[in-house]
Amino acid sequence: MLYFSKLRIFFICLITLFFIVFASSNLFKLSNDLLKKKINLGLDLQGGSYLLLEIDNTPVIEQKLQNLTITIKNYFKEKNIRIKNLKLIDQKLSFSVEEKFKEKIIETFTDKESDLNPYYQRFKSHQLDIVEENDIFFINFSKQGIVELKISSQDQALEIVRRRIDEIGTNEPNILKRGNDRILVELPGLDDPMRIKSLLGKTANLTFRFITNNTEDSFGAEKLKYEDNDEEEVVSKRIILSGDNLLDAQPRMNNETNETVVSFTLDRVGAKRFGKATSTGIGKQLAIVLDGKIISAPVIRDTIASGSGQISGGFTFQSATDLALLLRSGALPAPLNIVEERTVGPDLGQDSIDAGMIALVIGFVLVIVFIFVKYKIFGLITNVALIINLFLLVGILTIFEATLTLPGIAGIILTVGMAVDANVLIFERIKEELNNEKNNLIAFDSGYTKSKTAILDANITTLLAAIILFFMGSGPIKGFSLTLGIGIFTTLFSVYFIARLLTVLYVSKNKEKEGLI
């Protein structure tokens, strides 16, 4: 029936006022922490940087296979099987053996019932394949193994990228997976992406190794260049310490030398290793290597047992801050390459905002004029409900601090159209009821009741489409579906509570009047 209790009216007014206050917080600066929430502008509105990163999994595959060579060598040594020419080429391990050992090797890696089951399980767990061609055995990752490795690398890289960007304090970054070897990074408000690109482009693989003059070092040696010049040093491949042992890293100013350094703190295992290495290596140079280049190579003067130290290398405060950030966030599992880059300037973003707002205002004004001309006083009621509907929608988006994009504005415009459509259905149904019913109250009540099914069907089907778009789409599509979905609920509330309440108040005072609509 066309009846609203005082309690019901109170709750309608309270809910409406609540969302209007939150919507208004986007226009005014309020001191209350709760009311400081605002709608964030997306990349297409605010401007910013778009980076599509691709993970180079080649080093990861080679490292995994390289680690496997130690296991294979040890196993064959235990079984007195001589292998020849064990090497890694084109992401494949290859080796040859004498004819008499071939069958035993095939059993080792393929027969799950043999007594060599642990090796079979190891192969299966790593998704490895072994084949024989021209008396040479080849070991490589299967297709499924490559896919699993890529997914694992992507998950690790995504977390590291998120940590690095969060450390910088970028506002509302959008970091998403793309396929199984790409990561999308959207940084609204950032119009100079050079620092971000520099940070994301570094693997940040930190190692501490001794400089040696002996190229025949028992652990092997390699020539590495310094980061700031072309000088080379012969560095042992033996890793004394890695970035995995770091607990914290911070930029500091060395009061004695008045230079910027990066101080670091090690975990318990790292402190023990570092203490042992510095106690036995007094007088030696310890190379601090980052991504294959020497940052610095200080001479060890005394044992460092405190579990903390400093990295120097002619840093500026900014470069020291960035290095500390990289070390804190951890090393990437594989290098990242930028395959696509776009920068949206603030002028383009403002143009998008202006275009969207102009479209919204024009559409809104045309709808208001049409509905007022068509339904007079009830058109005015509809327009009031329509304005409140927009405040409700913006209020909900503000509470969740949603990110508004240009497609999101399109969703708001569509919400305006759907809100009017519901009212048109109701008023046209009321007109039909007035032709058969002289009592205005009964006619209006019947109009609202009998049009409900059609309105709900239309909104539910649209809501289902919005839900599908939200879960199946990405980026701007999600923004459109989110505003559209929320708009459906605010539309139904404004139609059946706000507009209906105002209609009841007017009809109750003019129930004897003819030609109300």
Which residue in the block uniquely carries the two structure tokens 């023990």? Answer: 272
Tell me the sheet residues that pair with 250: 263
pLDDT at position 116, please?
43
- Could you state, in order of their start, the residue ranges of all structural domains in the chain? 6-47+345-509, 59-145, 208-331
Query: What is the layout of strands, in order, in the sheet containing 336-344?
Result: 174-178, 182-188, 48-55, 336-344
Sign of CA dihedral 134, 112, 63, 161: positive
Residues whose CB is less than 8 angstroms from the CB of residue 6 and which lie 6 or more positions away in sequence, other chains included: none
Fold classification of 6-47+345-509 (topology level)? Multidrug efflux transporter AcrB transmembrane fold (1.20.1640)
Helix (H) or strand (E) holding 248: strand 246-254
What angle separates helix 377-399 from helix 406-436, to the nearest 10 degrees? 150
- Tokens 């930028």, residue? 338
CA distance 183 to 56: 12
Instruction: Specify whether the CB–CB gap between 442 and 448 falls below 8 A.
Output: no
Q: What was the pLDDT predicted at 361?
A: 83
Query: How many other CB atoms are found less than 10 A from the CB of residue 48?
Result: 27
Q: Burial level of 156, CB count in 10 A (0-12/13-18/19+)?
A: middle
Kind and range of the H or E element at 223? strand 221-225
CATH code for the domain defined by 208-331: 3.30.1360.200
Q: How confident is the model at residue 2, as a pLDDT? A: 64
* Residues near 40 by beta carbon (within 8 Å), at least 6 away in sequence: 46, 171, 172, 188, 401, 402, 403, 404
Give the pLDDT of the chain (517 residues) as one tens digit per residue.
Answer: 567 888 999 999 999 999 998 888 887 766 666 667 888 777 777 778 888 999 998 888 887 787 777 777 777 777 777 778 888 788 888 888 777 777 777 666 665 555 444 555 555 666 777 777 777 888 888 888 888 888 888 998 998 898 888 877 666 788 888 888 899 988 887 766 787 888 888 888 888 999 987 655 557 788 899 887 788 889 988 888 888 888 888 998 887 778 888 888 988 888 998 899 889 888 889 898 888 889 888 888 888 888 888 888 778 888 888 888 888 888 888 888 989 888 776 655 667 667 877 887 887 788 888 888 888 899 999 999 999 999 999 999 988 888 788 788 888 888 888 888 898 899 999 989 888 887 888 888 898 999 999 999 999 999 999 999 988 876 678 888 989 999 999 999 999 999 999 998 898 888 777 767 7
Q: Which of 468, 469, 487 is nearest to 477 (CA)?
A: 469
How many angstroms separate the first and last alpha carbons of the chain? 19
